[in-house]
Structure 1
Amino acid sequence: MFATHVRHSVALIICITIALVSLFLALSFGAADTSIQDVFNSFIYLNDASFTSRIIFELRVPRTLLAFLAGAGLAIAGLILQTVTRNPLADPYLFGISSGASFGVVVLMAFVGISAGFMLSAAALLGSLLAMSLLILIATRQQGGQVESMLLAGVALSFLFSAFTSLLLYWSEPQAVAAILFWTLGSFARAQWATLWVPFLVITLCTCVMISFRRQLNAMLLGDESAITLGVKVHRFRLLMLILSSLITAVLVAMCGGIGFVGLMVPHIVRFFISQGTVAGLLITSLAGGTFMVWVDVLSRSLLRNQELPVGVITAAMGSAFFLSLLFFRKSKV
């Protein structure tokens, strides 16, 4: 027991170190030529008003922090869904949460013309809660196989909201369509210091709630009947966890657009190396998601000269390749 605790603590310290180093190194990548020494000098001389320092502190630092928060939040949201459904392939996209949040934001952008501010977060939250309400309503009608019904209903709702979003794009003005399409593919270009506290607060609170309920989450992995035997109010607890996942997804969709596969891939990878039923395991999952997204953002800014690739395109390509290879090697072992 003591050896396991030490191993988890060492793994957590290593992940924290990697995350901090990644955050620092990522600041040297971008359209403007800046070296690691420039980044270091900007932090040493905080009062420096040079052009390089302004680029780093006004553009790259908030963007990198938002990328880290997005990765950490999506990893936690995916872990929540995978735990309460006992399905390692569950994520906010599979359950229609992200599609519902995107639909809410697209409605606001198409009809009202608002493309920034807290109204986007509110619209995304309403859309995700609508998707979750429909999901829970459908699942509770099938008492015998609630988890299976949730998975099937989530996939159907994801396609449904995507269809509504496409229909709105078809009716919108060409200029609005271009802006909405770029937003739906995911980007951290709109990161600002003024709004960065919103995802930080939401993700931190939801992670703390998840850590406080880690015993119940571990019980859920044993099945509904076993969890009920251990004193867990399964339906109420599952609803709470789904609302937490919806809240995280809604805030991140409003600020970053659609970014898929992170909540699906990162918890699955971390699960290979460490148990996620401990405090260290939960924190490592969030740190791994944040570090992964920081380097994905670096790729989006660096792959093409003087252009920026949408982050969602990169995560979709990497996630698809990862799971296809995973399925292939599992089949080979069988």
Structure 2
Amino acid sequence: MAIMSNHGVALIIALLCAVFSLFVALSFGAAPTSLADVYHSLTFSSEASFTSRIIIELRMPRTLLAFLAGSGLAIAGLILQTVTRNPLADPYLFGISSGASLGVVVLMAFVGIGAGIVLSAAALIGSLVAMGLLILIAGSQRNAQVESMLLAGVALSFLFSAFTSLLLYWSDPQAVAAILFWTLGSFARAQWPSLLLPALVIITCTVIMLGFRRQLNAMLLGDESATTLGVRVHRFRILMLILSSLITAVLVAMCGGIGFVGLMVPHIVRFFISQGSSVGLLMTGLVGGIFMVWVDVLARSLLANQELPIGVITAAIGSLFFLSILYFRKRQLVGK
């Protein structure tokens, strides 16, 4: 009961922090806005002023998209780390994000920028191709499937990035700047209608993953133990990879390439809550959303009248986090 109570308190605190972050983030931007203006705009107690329109029509969709992106990528990273039992697993490192980016860049380079659903379909195709190649390469070595999956993912990530760079080299110079900025990650395209698809996909996939929480717990014990407990390991791993690919594809189509979120956030949450619990999955989504909201604030605030790409900031933070994990794991091995 004490553990459940502590988990419940942690979840409530994370939820309050998420609401607070979403509220405060609406006050940051090119136009000076106070928290009082944000409150009056959200409660509709003021007339439809210019400031209220900025908050409701521009900043709020962007902030909500940032929260959804952080939540989705963090949950996708947690699932990948669980089914592969690899603490360094991440949609970006597994090549899923690069494959989705390649699918969108192919569409944008040869057809032009299409509607949101078309971009999401292209990203989904690219991520499924990446996932299929990943399973084909790693699955051919059944005894070393988990160990070889990360290496295959890194190789595929570099391969898809090379094809993306080649397409950018051949594209119209006027379109390269927009495509390049998009590939580095941005929430600038956020609009109210475009939030429906990522919200629906993330909520649906999260509910499905919560329904399979017992199987996910069994996967943490190893393939043999999970099989003994009645889990069809290979089929279940593919299902989880498909769900992670679906989340990543939709978010890449909306926001571009944003890496390392799925690597960092599950490790941060793991310090406070066990990995296999339902609360742990929900906490991972909340902490990921909070993290991405403040990264977006940082991207809009660091330089005056300019916006830094989101992927540049997450890559800088994530690289340091990645190296820190490797360093502490090495020290633990040496200590043993």
TMscore range, shorter length: over 0.9
Structure 1 position 307 matched with structure 2 position 311: no
Aligned to 2:279: 280
Aligned to 2:44: 45
1:320 to partner: Cα distance = 1.3
Q: Is the 8 A contact 2:98 2:161 kept in 1?
A: yes
- Per-residue Cα deviation, 1:149-196 (whole angstroms, up to 9, x for no partner): 212211111111111101101111111111110000000010000110
Change (3 A) 1:81 1:332: closer
Taking the aligned partners of 2:313 and 2:114, their CA distance within structure 1 comes to: 23
Report the 3-state secondary structure (helix = DSSP H, G, I; strand = E; otherwise coil) of the residue aligned with 2:143: coil
Q: Structure 1 unaligned runs (5+)?
A: none
The letter of the residue matching 2:58 is: L
Taking the aligned partners of 1:85 and 1:322, their CA distance within structure 2 comes to: 20
1:328 to partner: Cα distance = 3.6
Aligned to 2:237: 238
Report the 3-state secondary structure (helix = DSSP H, G, I; strand = E; otherwise coil) of the residue aligned with 1:45: coil
Structure 1 position 155 matched with structure 2 position 124: no
Q: Bigger shift: 199-208 or 132-141? A: 132-141
Taking the aligned partners of 1:235 and 1:285, their CA distance within structure 2 comes to: 25
Aligned to 2:70: 71
Aligned to 1:119: 118
Q: How does 1:258-273 map to 2 (within 5 A)?
A: 258-273=257-272
1:115 to partner: Cα distance = 4.6
Paired residues in the alignment total 333
Change (3 A) 1:254 1:5: same
Q: How does 1:116-265 map to 2 (within 5 A)?
A: 116-265=115-264
Q: Structure 2 unaligned runs (5+)?
A: none
Q: Is the 8 A contact 1:186 1:259 kept in 2?
A: yes
Report the 3-state secondary structure (helix = DSSP H, G, I; strand = E; otherwise coil) of the residue aligned with 1:276: coil
1:125 to partner: Cα distance = 0.2
Taking the aligned partners of 1:163 and 1:114, their CA distance within structure 2 comes to: 21
Structure 1 position 82 matched with structure 2 position 81: yes
Structure 1 position 14 matched with structure 2 position 13: yes
Taking the aligned partners of 1:164 and 1:269, their CA distance within structure 2 comes to: 33
Taking the aligned partners of 1:205 and 1:326, their CA distance within structure 2 comes to: 31
Aligned to 1:36: 35
Taking the aligned partners of 1:126 and 1:236, their CA distance within structure 2 comes to: 20
1:87 to partner: Cα distance = 0.4
TM-score, normalised on structure 2? 0.97
TM-score, normalised on structure 1? 0.97
Q: Is the 8 A contact 1:95 1:153 kept in 2?
A: yes
1:329 to partner: Cα distance = 4.6
Q: Is the 8 A contact 2:116 2:253 kept in 1?
A: no
The letter of the residue matching 2:124 is: L
Identical counterparts, % of pairs? 79
Taking the aligned partners of 1:58 and 1:47, their CA distance within structure 2 comes to: 15
Aligned to 1:289: 288
Structure 1 position 61 matched with structure 2 position 66: no
Q: Is the 8 A contact 2:67 2:288 kept in 1?
A: yes
